[in-house]
Amino acid sequence: MPRITAAELEAARDRLVPDVIADGLSVLFCGINPGLMTAATGHHFARPGNRFWPVLHASGFTARQLKPSEQDELPAHGLGITNVAARATARADELTAEEFREGGRILREKVERHRPRWLAVAGVTAYRTAFGERGARIGPQDRTIGETRIWALPNPSGLNAHWTLRTMAEEYGRLRAAAMPPRPPERGPGASLPAGMRTDVLRADRRP
């Protein structure tokens, strides 16, 4: 990917980024809002250090680690990406509570229209604000949107140090097991991990 300059990042502020979406997906992943790198490139979760794409692979959603520029391949895997709030910012705390609430309303309409099996919100704080669920925790939620179930996932940002690549992949793997058809169990070193989880990716994690 060509190097993005500071001026290009700043020019991307407030820009809108199109969803990667289709009808009837298995999982529609939902970020908080686009970062400046995503807005500058047009690719979701594009900031270096964001663990979304490695975790997607490590948890078994994709057979190989996709690059942000390959995001349009996701619908073929039954996956898509949207955001709670559409406006690109440098930090999520630049968004107002009203933007989160309005984003939640638009998100509900989008889910009703496209009817994914699961909506997976990557950030429990964003889920709490957008849906008014102050006590929500990571994992499957009681709330549904039509027939779509909701799962609150850990934010894959590299700043979310509480979650390592391994623990994050385990949680995403729980969602994959619920959302996707079961796969034959793997043999070898990864056999004790959730089916499909990639130990070669997990070994790359050096966070404490």
**Which of 43, 44, 57, 114 is an active site residue?**
44
**Which of 112, 116, 30, 104 is closest to 78 using CA atoms?**
116
**Which of 33, 50, 83, 155 is an active site residue?**
33
Q: For the chain, how many helices (H) and strands (E)? A: 7, 5
CA 86-89-92 angle, 5° bins: 85
Half-sphere CA count of 130, side-chain side, radius 13 A: 27
Beta bridge partners of 28: 80, 119
Known catalytic membership, residue 162: no
Known catalytic membership, residue 33: yes
DSSP 85: S
Q: How far apart are CA 142 and CA 42, in angstroms?
A: 33
Collapse the DSSP code of 24 into the 3-class scheme (helix H, G, I; strand E, B; otherwise coil) and give the result: coil
DSSP 203: T
Catalytic residues: 33, 44
